[in-house]
Structure 1
């Protein structure tokens, strides 16, 4: 009786690198339905990003200022793990989370 071969591939583990980037840019895209916060290095490479939906809000709760605040805090915390200290903020969109996201980045 023939033995069945198992196709076993070695799983590649991606190591979490600390990038040591001290200055960057925070891009806030605030729509009527969601708020997305992306934090990049000066060249535009994304270090971290979070949205209100990614933080755990669903439906109409994603469009609230509190959801934008939570998304901005989560993105800032993740970027600070890479050494981010200072950001320039760029805001797009008419949503209600604009000011809340800016204030959250300011306090983080």
Structure 2
């Protein structure tokens, strides 16, 4: 292992010396009398091809050292040369790239469907607590379009958290969407909390409306040994 690291370090120093000698004393222009990297009879001298940048010459040298075939080494040259020749690369140079993981899965650098058309998918947030049920219809960017709650439809005190209150609040949102002329292409139901309005709102969406539900998400926060809970109530 130590011998392999030592050999790699020696090769790296040789390549750095060859690259610095290739640039010449001026720093930008290649030296005319520098040592050749492919022999005296090759088409590429130490100065590289005419108009070739020192970075591309170094890449060619590294490819030659690795023993890659000639056509494989030259396949990347036009794109990298166009990027190095221009001061500000155009977006077409990066076209066709596909990102995965945290970079997303889009095939270009354009906007995502949510950013291009926020109304293509609406989200119905259902906050079902033990005291009330609050519903909010938002677009993909999170802007509220219509909202309602158990208290806004006429229920008082403990009845605001009941099944009927959440059902009537969902019906109120459906009628408001129809009056305002909001087009619902597809909708996501996002549930939060363990109140009775949790199931009532979802059943009301299926029975009172013809909205195409594309997803049902549970956004209830769960503590992982977080804050100390309240003392148990004794009756």
- Shared fold by TM > 0.5? yes
* Structure 1 spans left out of the alignment, 5+ residues: 1-20
User: 1:64/1:101 Cα in 2 relative to 1: closer, same or farther (>3 Å)?
Assistant: same
Indicate the SS of the match to 1:68. helix
2:145 corresponding residue in structure 1: 47
Moved over 4 A (4+): none
Give the count of matched residue pairs. 88
What does residue range 95-106 of structure 1 map to in structure 2 within 5 Å?
95-106=195-206
CA distance in 2, matches of 1:43, 1:87: 13
More helix, by proportion: 2
Structure-1 separation of matches of 2:139 and 2:175? 15
Larger Rg: 2
Out of 119, 123, 138, the position equivalent to 1:25 is 123
Q: Which has the higher relative contact order, 1 or 2, with Cα contacts under 8 A spaced 6 or more apart? A: 1
**Which range is displaced more, 52-61 or 78-87?**
78-87
Q: Deviations over 1:39-79 (max 9, x none)?
A: 01111111100000001111111111011000011112212
Secondary structure of 1:48's aligned partner: strand
| Structure 1 position 22, deviation (Å) | 5.3
**Structure 1 or 2: more strand by fraction:** 1
Unaligned runs of 5+ in 2: 1-118, 210-235
What is the aligned counterpart of 2:186 among 77, 86, 93?
A: 86
Q: Residue 38 of structure 1 aligns to a residue in which SS? A: strand
Which deviations, in whole Å up to 9, do the C-alpha atoms of 1:56-105 show, x marking residues without a partner? 11111111101100001111221243222421000001111100111111
